[in-house]
Each structure stands twice: as structure tokens, then as C-alpha cells.
Structure 1
Amino acid sequence: MKDKSQMIRATLAGVMAVSSTLLATNALAVPENPKQWEKCAGIAKQGMNDCGALDGKHSCASQAKIDNADNEWVYVPKGTCTKITGGFVAAIKPAK
């Protein structure tokens, strides 16, 4: 009986430890998705663009050939693009 009680206590302690770790990790995670986004050009790294090039050279994500190209863009929370060095809000729709 004593062994069963110790096993239950150890199991509960383990579950609580894992729960605490998950809560702490979630608190450090990226904040909730913003409600509004904007296309920010000039900041995408090679192969990390979100969609088609602004000049229509390609129509898919992850095809940027160089870092920080003016025709490549990524989505950022609205109002943050111009705060990023080299970033500007893209006004042209990408190729389809």
C-alpha cells in the first residue's frame, strides 16, 4: 500500500512539473497573431519571402534569390514595417 501511494505522489509531482514547464514556455512564446498585417518589402532574407515577387518574377514563397531585395516581401504586424531598417510597405500586389 505504501509503494502505491508513493508512486501516485511521484506521478502527480511529475505531471505538475511538466505543466509548470509548459506554462512557462507558453508565456515566452510569440504573442497572439495580430488582427491586421501588412506586406513589408525589402527585409526578406534569401528563401524566406512570404509569396510572389512584387515585380512578378516568381509567384511562390521561399524563392527570394538574395537578402533584402526590394521586390521580395514578408507579412508583418501592421505598423511595424517602417520601423524595420530597409523596410517599406508594399503597395503592389504580387504575381498570381
Structure 2
Amino acid sequence: MRRGDLYRVYRGSKNDPKNYRVFAVVSRQILIDSKFSTVTCAPVYSSYAALSTQVLVGVNEGLKHDSAIHCDELVSIPKSLLTHYIGKLSYHKLARLREALLIALDIED
């Protein structure tokens, strides 16, 4: 598992209309490689509002259609649920993800 990997996760939530949702792993690599049982992820939605906290993704990353990673909606997900690998972000998209996370968390670079 690497930062920028995309996984389809069964949500099973009554609040989410979809049974499955794709998530991008955004935790730093040292945490991913540690014994911690969870990692921080950002959901991928088909909607895109051109916000600076959203990163466009699509078929090049293993998805069926154009979508966006929403960095304003970070969640902690158990590593054990990240089993259905979809694809990964390119170096350019990883850099864009970093920028979006800095903005979403209001961290000055």
C-alpha cells in the first residue's frame, strides 16, 4: 500500500447511497508502513466543483469515468478494508494531492 493508491471500499453506511466508494490513501508513507491499523483516506466522487481542495482523476488512475478526490472530507479507514486495488496516482497527481491537502488543512507551505 502506497500514498496515492486508490481502493474500492464497501461502505455499508446508511448515509451513503452507494454500497462501494473509491478512496485515495493520503497518509504519509511511514504511517502506512507502521503497525497502526488505520490510514487516512479521501473519498472519490463523480462530482467536481473546481475547488482547490479537489483533484481530478479518471481512467488513467484506474477509474471508469472522470471523478475527483475530495480532500475536505478525510476519513480514517482500517487497512484491512483496503483490499480492492483500483489504481494509483501519477507523480503529477500526487503533487496536486499534496497541494489540495495543504489547502484543505489550512497549512502554509
Q: TM-score, normalised by structure 1?
A: 0.26
Q: Is the strand fraction higher in 1 or 2?
A: 2
Q: Is the helix fraction higher in 1 or 2?
A: 1
**Structure label with greater radius of gyration:** 1
Q: TM-score, normalised by structure 2?
A: 0.24
